[in-house]
Amino acid sequence: MTIRHVISKPLIPTSKCFVIKKNIEPYFDPTLHSHAEFQLSYVMKGSGNRFVGNSLNPFSDGDMVLIGPHLPHVWKSHDSYFQHRIPNATTVIVIYFNKEILGESVYLKQEFQKIKILFDMSNQGLHIVGKTRDEVGSMLEKLLVTDGVDSVILFLKILDKIANSSDLHFLNDLEAIAFKESEANRIHEVYDYVMKNFNSKIRLEEVADIANMTQTSFSRYFKTRMNTSFSDFVKEVRISFACKRLEDESHSIESISYESGFPSLTNFNKQFKQITGKTPKEYREEYFRILNTK
């Protein structure tokens, strides 16, 4: 597998205002990366964990996110996608664009102030939900088959729709830090190691070796760059995996605790409640109660 930590080649041809793609693949690209362009992603089909800046969250069908330039990100499919490799298991619409799509001076105009603010907000990563997500999703599908000036007009309408929405949630509490290429490489190696080994005991000295740092230096570095401790990051990865497993009644809570990397059921219950505010049993009961009311 070719590792792409930072995409240096421009994603948008000089002859285009923006690029929109619909990708249908067995799984999402599992490589943490960043690029100079803004990115609007709409997951039509697929599930896993989404890593943007210093946030880690589960995602599923309908996930929509706006990402600012140089913000590290990856949508990592669940392991089952890699095991089965079903050709059309995931579908995503992605738009790449630059701030200078209409020229820098246009953002000084009153009519574009909200879009300018939206671009600034996207540096933290924006999760788009609710009615706005649904409406923008339909507009994106229409944009796929629109060209010429009409496509630019529709694209601006999409930005305006998002800019005037209250259905936006920051993915990072603080402004996420854009990584340098060397940092993106280092964080990717750590991220990749954790995603492959979270269900086993992860030793700090092993991860520090991967980052080519001392344990103390690595702990300080990770906290600074990710706005969370390394141990809490591992915990969130494990809980995210456990949440997905709990949505399948064929797995017992006890077996899920060990599959997720927790040393005991008691420890699992405690850590799960700290992160989600619910016990695993309460989470499962609430999930199926909501599912059965739809």
Residue written as tokens 């930005």?
159
pTM for this predicted structure: 0.74
Look up residue 72 and give its DSSP letter.
-
pLDDT in tens, the chain (294 residues): 233 444 545 688 888 889 999 999 999 987 788 888 999 999 999 998 888 887 888 899 999 999 998 888 889 888 788 888 888 899 999 999 998 777 777 777 888 889 999 998 998 999 999 999 999 999 999 999 999 999 999 999 999 999 999 999 999 876 556 666 667 678 878 888 998 899 999 999 999 999 999 999 999 988 887 778 999 989 988 998 898 889 888 999 999 999 999 989 999 999 999 888 899 999 999 888 887 776
> What residue ranges in the chain does DSSP mark as E strands?
18-25, 38-45, 48-52, 55-59, 64-67, 73-77, 90-97, 126-128, 168-170
Q: What are phi and psi of 114, to 5 degrees?
A: -70, -35
Residues across the chain: 294
- pLDDT, residue 181, reads 62
Identify which of 11, 2, 117, 12 has the alpha carbon closest to the alpha carbon of residue 66.
117
Sheet of 48-52, strand order: 55-59, 48-52, 73-77
Q: What is the pLDDT, as a whole number, of residue 3?
A: 34
Residue with tokens 């520090």: 208
Our measurement of the distance from residue 87's CA atom to the centroid of its chain's CA atoms, rounded to an integer in Å, reads 22
- Domains annotated for the chain, with CATH where assigned, are 18-170 (2.60.120.280), 198-293 (1.10.10.60)
pLDDT of residue 1: 28
pLDDT score, position 2: 32
**Do the beta carbons of residue 31 and residue 188 sit within 8 Å?**
yes
